A and B are shown apart, each in its own frame.
Chain A
Amino acid sequence: MSIINLDHLAANPLLPEVQEAMIEAIKKNYANPSSQHQLGDEAVAALQLAREQVTRLINSPVPKEVVFTSSGTESVNHAVKGVAFANENKGKHIVTSNIEHNAVLRTLRALKMMDYKVTSVPVDEYGLINPSDVADAIRDDTILVTIMHSNNEIGTIQPIEEIGQITQTKKVIFHCDAVDSVGVVPIDVQTLGVNLLSFAANQFYGPSGVGGLYIRRGTRIWPLLDGGVQENNKRAGTENLIGIIGMGVAAELATREMEFRIKHARKLKQKLIEGLQSRVEDIFINGHPELSLPNLVSVSVQYIEGEGIVLMLDEENIAVSTKSACAAGALQASHVLLSIGRDFADAQGTLVITFGRDTTEADIERFLEVLEEVVQTLRNMSPLYIKAMQERAEGVALS
C-alpha cells in the first residue's frame, strides 16, 4: 500500500519535469560557470536561465537581484547576519516577531551574544502581527526588521506589505523569511516592499539543498561566505548547478500552475477542516481562518500527545507531522503555539497537515477515518481525557 503523504512541508516530492532536468544536467557534465572557456559558457547560460525562471516566480525587477544559496536557512543567515554586520556603525537593534522559524530565532540568538539587541513583537490568537507594533518597536538604532511571510506551523500569512510601507518610511532594511510561501502563494517582491526575501526550492517541488535570497539593489549587506566572486560577489563558492537547474524548472512550473494548485489545495483544506470539526470533538484549528497558507492545516487535539498520533497514523501508512515537544529532538513546547495562546497540553497534541498537488480528496477522507479511531484509542489511555469526561458528566448531572 502506498503512503499518503500529508507532510508535504517536510517531504515534497520532486516533480518529474524537475527530475528529468536534473538528470539531463548531470549527463551534460557542465563545467564551472566561472571558467573562461566554451565549457564554462554553457554552464553560464544554464545558470542564467534558472535565475530568470526564479526571478519570474517572485517578480524581481532584474535577475541580478536573485542570489542562489544552499538552503532557506542559509538565505536567512545571510540576510540577518549580513545586514547586522554591514550596518553595525548605524546601530545594533533588530525587530522580529515571536513566531519566527528557528533559522531566524537562532541567528538572532547568535547576534545577541555579539551585543545586538532584539525586540520581538507579539501575535494575536490567529498568529497575526499588528503592523503598528512593528512601527512602535523601531528605534533610531534599528538596522533591520525581519518578519516571516507565512508561518510553518500554523500557516498564518502576515501583513508584509503594510510592514514594508513602515520600514520604507522609517528607512530600515526589511527582510522577509518567505520559505513556506514562495512557490505556494503569489509573491511579488516589488509590492511587498522588502529589501531581502528568503526562499527554498524544496518547498515547491524542487530539490533540497538549494535556496534563494532576493537582495534589492542598494541594500547594505555583507556576504555570509567569503571567497570567490560567484553570484555577483554576493555568495562565494562554486554554484550547485544541478540543484539550481532543478530549482529553475520547479519555479517555472510553480509560476505556471500556481492558480490551479491554490484552487486544489483550498478545496482539500476546506474538506479537511470540515471533516475534523464534524468527526473529532475538542479540537482547535490553529491559524487565521482566511489569511493563511492554502496547503496547511494545524489542529490541536485536546487531551492527547502528537507523537502517539503520528506513530499510529504511520502504522496505517499516513504521514503527518506533529509540533509536540515529545516529537523527535524538540522536547520543548512549540513557541508558536504558546504565542497564540494554546496551553502546554494542547500544544502537545498538535498536528501539522500539509498537502500538495498530488493529494486527493480520497486521501483526506482516509486520513479523517483513521484519525478518528486513533484519537479515541489514545484518549481512552489519557488521564486528562478521563478527568475531563468525568467533569463534563458531573456538570451535566448538576444542570
Chain B
Amino acid sequence: MYSATVMDHFKNPRNVGEMKDADGVGEVGNPICGDMMSIYIKVKDDYIDDISFLTFGCGAAIAVSSILTEMAKGKTIDEAQKITNKSVAAALEGLPKNKLHCSNLGADALQLAIRDYQDRKAGIVREGPKRSDKHEHGHGDVCYCPYCDVEADDKAPVCTNCGRELDEAH
C-alpha cells in the first residue's frame, strides 16, 4: 500500500519529540480521520536550525511528519514557506489517494509554526489556540473526496465518482 520511502520514514522516523524551547509551534488536527500533528521549530539567523514533530496518526501521517522535518531543516524561512503538502507527498514517492487529504497535513503544521515564530518576533498575540481544527486541503474552497481525491459535491451524501459515503465535514 505504501511506497518504500513512506515505510522507511514510518519505521525510522527522523526528528521525533517535543521541543521545550521552540521558537515556533504549529499544531494541526483533522476531525475526519483524527490525525494530529505538532511541529516545533528553532530559528537561528532566519534559518530553521532545528525542527521536531509529534504525531498522532496512521503510518502515512508519521512518514509525512518525518520527511517534512528533513525537508525543512537548514532552510531559510522563505524557502521553508514554499514547502507544500503536495511537495511532501511527492518526496514520499506518493501517498494512497485516501490519505492525501487526511494524513498529509505536515506542511500546514509547518506553516503554522513559522507564523507562530513570526508572531512571537513581532509581538503579535493571536486570539484562540494555535491549532487549526479545520480540515485544510489546500485547494481553496473546493472539496475533494477523501477516498478517491476527485472533486466532490458539497451537498451530496456520497461521492459521485467512487460512491463512498461522505462525512458532512469532508
Residues of A within 8 A of B (CB): 303-305, 307-308, 311-312, 315, 324-329, 331-333, 344-345, 348, 380-384, 386
Contacts and interface: CB of A to CB of B under 8 A. Distances in A.
Interface in B22-71: 27, 31-38, 53-62
Interface of B: 1, 7, 10-11, 13, 16-18, 27, 31-38, 53-62, 96, 98-99, 102-103, 146-147, 165, 167
A392 to B, nearest CB: 15
B98 A383 contact: no
B94 to A, nearest CB: 16
Contact of B98 (A304, A331, A382, A384): A331
Contacts, number: 81
B16 A380 contact: yes
Nearest to B167: A332
21 contacts: A305-B58, A308-B57, A308-B62, A325-B32, A326-B33, A326-B61, A327-B58, A328-B1, A329-B147, A331-B33, A331-B98, A331-B147, A331-B167, A333-B34, A348-B34, A348-B56, A381-B16, A381-B62, A382-B55, A384-B56, A386-B18
A344 B55 CA distance: 16
Contacts of B53: 381
A349 to B, nearest CB: 9
B69 to A, nearest CB: 12
Contacts of B147: 329, 331
Contacts of B10: 308, 311
Tell me what chain A mostly uses at the interface: helix, strand, loop, or mixed: loop
A30 B147 CA distance: 43
B56 A344 contact: no
Contact of A331 (B7, B55, B62, B146): B146
A331 B32 contact: yes
B146 A382 contact: no
Nearest to A380: B16
A308 B59 contact: yes
A326 B18 contact: no
Contacts of A348: 34, 56
Contacts of B11: 312, 315
Given A381-B54, A383-B38, 15 more contacts: A308-B62, A311-B7, A311-B59, A324-B58, A325-B32, A325-B33, A326-B57, A327-B58, A331-B146, A332-B167, A345-B56, A348-B56, A381-B13, A382-B55, A382-B56
B145 to A, nearest CB: 10
Nearest to B59: A311
